[in-house]
Chains A and B, each alone.
Chain A
């Protein structure tokens, strides 16, 4: 795995490579080389199985971090390719031609994060939020509590306790 990580570092100029386990590593690559790298991993390096494609919203840095998690069925190695893309007008190259199920992940990301994948089939159809008209709900600037209170007729009289304070008062009432 170590040699392999060195190899892809020289091929695709990956950075921030972390090997978490003997069989699991994460590495970051530039957006322009990401799909080329995923394609190379699938076609030439045996990482033929897509585990998932997911995104994280780093709102402080202004980026969405996509993670393509791939698996090599022959030796059981897994590699996660992290790609940072701009939060403003987020778009990413589509990879639906590599795996068919990629299309579903991309459709979900389009709906939940608003990341566009031009050319991906059915990417504009609604996935689970039918007729959503707010900002995509997985973005961290979306206030889900406020939205829920405005939309879903909250039942009055609901009480919420801070778990730390509540357990403290329960377990150590004298302090």
Chain B
């Protein structure tokens, strides 16, 4: 379903481009002496809006969903105090490798993004970019009550209250902080959702892209990154 919001602001929204000095259009002398014009925005960043990518049909999709559920690669990006709950998962006591959950160092290779605790506005900016670089289908686990309603930082000037206004969340794990067991249970829940074919939040993000972008731009005052960096 499509989320409704004030579309009046939409016209201005995509105007303010990523204009850090190093990304301005400029002329550069090539090694052979000729002058070439480079436009880093065109060269380095994607200019297309994200598209909805339809799942396959029938047994194939079922098998693929099973494979996706059993091979969850987590982006190694700790955003708040909750990231301290992730290292115990790798160690002998909890050992998440048993369940096919593995850590990956780069967003390009990961499927699951654990938003571990509060997100300050500065981190939100980085989190959005990382999320958008992950290949679809991708999932978000929101850890801790900070991601649900702000938690103990609900009246802070610098931390967001509701994560689902900025990124589509698959699984919430409540608590402050949830124990690693709770995180493992969250992985179990995520696996169930994916196997049922409900892990299509990346498509929801693409469908409601303008709504998410409007929310993100309301919070992030100096929007100095590309709008689409897929």
Contact = CB atoms under 8 A, between A and B. Distances in A.
Q: A and B touching (C-beta < 8 Å)?
A: yes
Contact of A155 (B120, B149, B220, B222): B149
B34 interface: no
Contact of A126 (B158, B160, B218, B222): B222
A132 B221 contact: yes
A152 B221 contact: no
A40 to B, nearest CB: 38
B158 A129 contact: yes
A171 interface: no
Interface in B137-168: 148-150, 154-162, 165
B156 A154 contact: no
Contacts of B150: 148, 152, 154-155, 158
Interface in A82-130: 126, 128-130
A158 B222 contact: no
Interface string A50-79: 000000000000000000000000000000
B148 A155 contact: yes
A115 to B, nearest CB: 18
A154 B157 contact: no
Contacts of A133: 221
Given A154-B161, A155-B162, A158-B149, A130 B125 contact: yes
B contact face: mostly helix, strand, loop, or mixed: loop
B120 A128 contact: yes
A150 to B, nearest CB: 10
Interface stretch (A3-11, A13-21, A30-38, A137-145): A137-145
Contacts of A158: 149-150, 154
A128 B121 CA distance: 9
B222 A153 contact: no
Contact of A131 (B120, B155, B160, B221): B221
Interface in A138-168: 142, 144-145, 147-149, 151-155, 158
B161 A153 contact: yes
Given A144-B156, A148-B154, A148-B157, A129 B122 contact: yes
A126 B160 CA distance: 19
Given A129-B122, A132-B221, A153 B157 contact: no
Contacts of B103: none
Interface in B199-230: 215, 218-223
B161 A130 contact: no
A89 B219 CA distance: 28
A128 B160 CA distance: 14
B223 to A, nearest CB: 8
Contacts of A128: 120, 122, 158
Nearest to A132: B221
Interface of A: 126, 128-133, 137, 142, 144-145, 147-149, 151-155, 158
Given A148-B161, A149-B155, A154-B149, 5 more contacts: A131-B221, A137-B157, A144-B156, A152-B161, A155-B149
13 contacts: A129-B122, A129-B158, A131-B220, A148-B155, A148-B156, A149-B155, A151-B219, A152-B219, A154-B149, A154-B150, A154-B161, A158-B150, A158-B154
